[in-house]
Structure 1
Amino acid sequence: MNDISPQIKDITDSFVSSGRRLSIGHVEIITRQEEAYQSIYSATCIENFNPITVDELRKNPDFPTDNSGENRELKGKNSKNQDIHILMIPVTSDDNSSVICVFQSTAPFDKEKLPFLQFFAAMIDITGKYSIKDASTIRGSDRYKKDLINMRDMQAKLFPKFNVVRGFQIGSAFLPAELMSGNFIDGFYLDENIYQVVVCDVSGYDAASTFAGAAIRTLIRSEASKKMTPSVLIETITMKLKNIIAVVHALIYISVFQFNIKTGKTMISSYGPLMTLFYNKKKNGYANLGTTEVGRLLAKRIFYKDLSLMMEPGDILLYYSNGMINASNETGKEQYGESNLYASFMKQKESSSTDLVHTLIESLNDYTNYSPLEADVILIAIKREAQA
């Protein structure tokens, strides 16, 4: 990776915007060939940030002198005598050479930032290895698939464990169409009573799209302490990441669900169509929230509004991605569609959230006869059990 390819430049340029929002002042990619170090990319994320140069970093007693392949955290002072935290993440490493991502910040690198920065390094690795003219040959190789599977494992570790949500059952499924994807599901408490579920569906499958998904997830996590409503959160994220969104040549869909585990009060918003059904147990019927007045406004991507509803015991919210309803049958002539989804959903409405999701996936597989998916399938079922 002696030169920065256009694909890597897309990712690194996108990082500048997200890095600034995460209080990361400087990012640099350096190569090590025996004892010689060379900077092949550097960018300042925060205006007037004064980074420590590579030559100065090498004087730090904790600076790595071998290719151990392990992350290394250092602390030093810049030319203004400011304390600077440095995180070095190896991209590639062998006996004689290595490529390293170097991040600098005035604040320590906390647990929320670290997975994102590791993922960034993995993206640089994958893109650097395979952004070449004979990519079609390389991408069919076992080595390429193994590298991508390892990267997907990193993504999977970021997915939430929904069994911690009191008074609610949450079942989910994620079926990837390709090994490289920016889609994610996340869930966490905003406080002791409010739980938030976020779904991001990025329609592209290139490196920039994958990185965009990771950046969105990290920024949403970093904004959690502000306890924004879903619409305010989405507006904040899209404004802060407008440079990343501009780079990604794909549509991005974001849906946010916040529900009070004690009262059942729920607020929902989306960036793009609101792909969600709401089943009301008392009325024994469902509504497609995307067809409501608020849902139609959200689909235009220029309005930021919340849809509020009260979830009673037995009520269900079902999020489904475009990949679910657009999946084709074996002949490729007909799509699974919303009608099949609705019918399967209503048959299993009394099931647990996990069983409901599994049944819907089985219904999809029966329809497609396990044909390859054209887009990722994401399903999330949120069912209120009883008073928490």
Structure 2
Amino acid sequence: MNSIYTKHLKILALDDDPVAREYIKMTLKDHGELQLAGNRQEFFRILNNSIPDIFLLDVNLEDGNGIELCSELKQNAAFRDSFFIMLTSRSDKETIEKAYSSGADEYIRKPFIQYELVSKIRIIKHIITVRDNLLNAYQTQLDHNVQLYKLSNFVNSGIMAKDKEETLRSAEILLSMIDLTYIEIVKVRGGIPLSTMQKQIVKDTTVIAFKDIEKEGSIFSNIKNEIKFFKTKKGDIEIYSNLFSVKFNNDIYGYILLERLEPFSQNDKEVISLFLDYTNLLNERISSQGELSRKNEEYRKEIDIIRRLEVSKLPDFKQVRGFDTAFAFMPAQELSGDFFDGFFLDDDIYQIILCDVSGHGIASSYVGNQIRTMFREKSAPGKKPSEIVKEINSQLAVDLMELRYYCTAQIIQIYFDTNTIIFLSAGHPEAIIRRNKELEVTLTKSRSPVIGLFENETYNDEIISMEEGDILLLYTDGLIEEHSFDYNSMYGINRVIESLKRAENMTSIETLHHCLGDFYEFNGYRPQNDDITLICIKKD
């Protein structure tokens, strides 16, 4: 049955990442009236003048939590019929369960592919159209309210159907909507119809089974696209029958046969037609999810190749003579916005770069690789970190202006002949120095602007003398900005300092293991929310 009308969707997306918002805009610009918000204030300002059909909510927001916001909106009667799709880079069971418990209808992992988001929007649009058509029919046919109410319940419960066999079996719901004497569900396997359920509702009533109707070839003419209502006779008994096919991937997957002793009313025919529309829609959704799973598998294989390439670029710190150097590299997603590199400028100078690109995922990883290459190209013997970073910043401020990407970084040059380090921090959290003789912990003083936002910035170097047992700890902000399990506090730099103080008489790798053990104890051993990289440099 054709839809009575097709609704023009209103979609409201909340995501604090401008790149994600631009990607959503590009993906959904032709799929409805799309409005975008970068924070809760913009979001609620839009809500004052609009009731969206679909909400796209980022789970991790700078000024809130998307799951809690979903729960809050679900309690508002104005959004009772709206659909909620959660967007997040998290894939742990706890976050997914919280999202669905809050009332979310769908859950999409970031970075998402366009096919996944568009497929879910199209399916929800179909669902909204079918639902709204049901409600329209309910209002115009008061005498038909019981049937439509039950069918509406079926629509709401059937959305979670997991396979095509489940949708075929759901035809039994028609027994509660229409007075029937007989129902038969037939599954087609290898082109051969096989009856899977026969139920005679009224005892001692004459019925005609599917196998007998199958002999009448004319009844099956165009059965793929039509709902057949016909009358047959068995002896002196007239039987009114209804036969329709259920499709999967545009092929007939099964048949439903309904029978009664009186003609089907127009209301009955509309209920059957709506049921079939929705059943085929569910099968379309199941098929789409199968295709999506296949594409996701292809995507993961490609990501795995890129990930292995990333790992192959990790430096070998065993070459840093006179300094025990180790690292820990933990992406929050398959690909990381963090990167670090290390290479010799000459025989007596080794340079290490720790960089944190804004965002995470594929785009950040790509930008990070470009910046890694620039550091290699711009670095040379005799050039201090401040000179190298100034050149890179001038170029990135132009190249990344439209994309609004930037990075923070720490650059160190280790001079083996003098046991000194030239250090620069560009918008990055302070590095931590632990002095072995004095048993004191201090922070680096170098503070320079981030890289890639504005041209003509000035960058300042800091000289650090290293004595036996001294430690320099570099890290990205994912470490100190992690929240506790109850979200009441952040890990913070003070906890890192205290952890480093307790790491006495340890090698660099043992020191990192100790610090990370304290970190995971704080966050409840959950997957972290952001990329984390640590580098520990200890003077032998």
How high is the TM-score relative to the length of structure 2? 0.45
Equivalence for 2:194: none
Query: Quick check: 2:407–2:450 contact (8 Å CA) kept in 1?
Result: no
Are 2:434 and 1:282 aligned? Answer: no
Give, in angstroms, the shift of residue 368 of structure 1: 1.1
Are 2:298 and 1:143 aligned? Answer: yes
- Runs of 4 or more above 4 Å deviation: 135-140, 297-301
1:272-310 deviations in Å (ceiling 9; x for gaps): 134300112221101111xx3x43x55798431101121
Equivalence for 2:321: 166
Give, in angstroms, the shift of residue 131 of structure 1: 4.1
Of Structure 1 and Structure 2, which has the larger fraction of its residues in helix? 2
Are 2:165 and 1:182 aligned? Answer: no
State how far apart, in whole Å, the 2-side matches of 1:369 and 1:148 are.
28
Query: Quick check: 1:195–1:259 contact (8 Å CA) kept in 2?
Result: yes
Give, in angstroms, the shift of residue 233 of structure 1: 0.8
Question: What amino acid does structure 2 have at the position aligned with 1:201?
Answer: D
Query: Quick check: 2:420–2:463 contact (8 Å CA) kept in 1?
Result: yes
Query: Quick check: 1:180–1:207 contact (8 Å CA) kept in 2?
Result: yes
Look up the SS of the partner of 2:346 in the other structure.
coil
State how far apart, in whole Å, the 2-side matches of 1:250 and 1:242 are.
9
Look up the SS of the partner of 1:134 in the other structure.
helix
Rg comparison, structure with higher value? 2
Change (3 A) 1:227 1:245: farther
Change (3 A) 1:298 1:130: closer
Which of 199, 206, 215 is the matching residue for 2:370?
215
Equivalence for 1:352: 507
State how far apart, in whole Å, the 2-side matches of 1:299 and 1:133 are.
35
Unaligned runs of at least 5 residues, structure 2: 1-21, 27-111, 121-288
Equivalence for 2:398: 243
Unaligned runs of at least 5 residues, structure 1: 1-5, 11-128
Which of 458, 462, 471 is the matching residue for 1:303?
458
Q: Between Structure 1 and Structure 2, how many residues are aligned? A: 258
Give, in angstroms, the shift of residue 250 of structure 1: 4.1
State how far apart, in whole Å, the 2-side matches of 1:176 and 1:206 are.
9
Equivalence for 1:314: 469
Give, in angstroms, the shift of residue 346 of structure 1: 0.6
State how far apart, in whole Å, the 2-side matches of 1:326 and 1:304 are.
25
Equivalence for 2:113: 130
Give, in angstroms, the shift of residue 206 of structure 1: 4.5
Are 2:216 and 1:233 aligned? Answer: no
1:130-168 deviations in Å (ceiling 9; x for gaps): 344637875893332332222111111111010111100
State how far apart, in whole Å, the 2-side matches of 1:142 and 1:195 are.
40
Which of 498, 517, 520 is the matching residue for 1:365?
520
Q: Among all aligned residue pairs of Structure 1 and Structure 2, give the percentage whose two residues are the same amino acid.
A: 27
State how far apart, in whole Å, the 2-side matches of 1:298 and 1:281 are.
31
Change (3 A) 1:207 1:274: same
1:314-336 deviations in Å (ceiling 9; x for gaps): 11110111100111122222211
1:36-75 deviations in Å (ceiling 9; x for gaps): xxxxxxxxxxxxxxxxxxxxxxxxxxxxxxxxxxxxxxxx
Equivalence for 1:334: 489
Give, in angstroms, the shift of residue 370 of structure 1: 1.8
Query: Quick check: 1:182–1:214 contact (8 Å CA) kept in 2?
Result: no
Give, in angstroms, the shift of residue 205 of structure 1: 1.9
Q: How does 1:242-281 map to 2 (within 5 A)?
A: 242-281=397-436
CA RMSD of aligned residues (A): 2.8
Query: Quick check: 1:172–1:378 contact (8 Å CA) kept in 2?
Result: yes
Structure with larger RCO (C-alpha < 8 A, sep 6+) = 1
Change (3 A) 1:224 1:299: closer
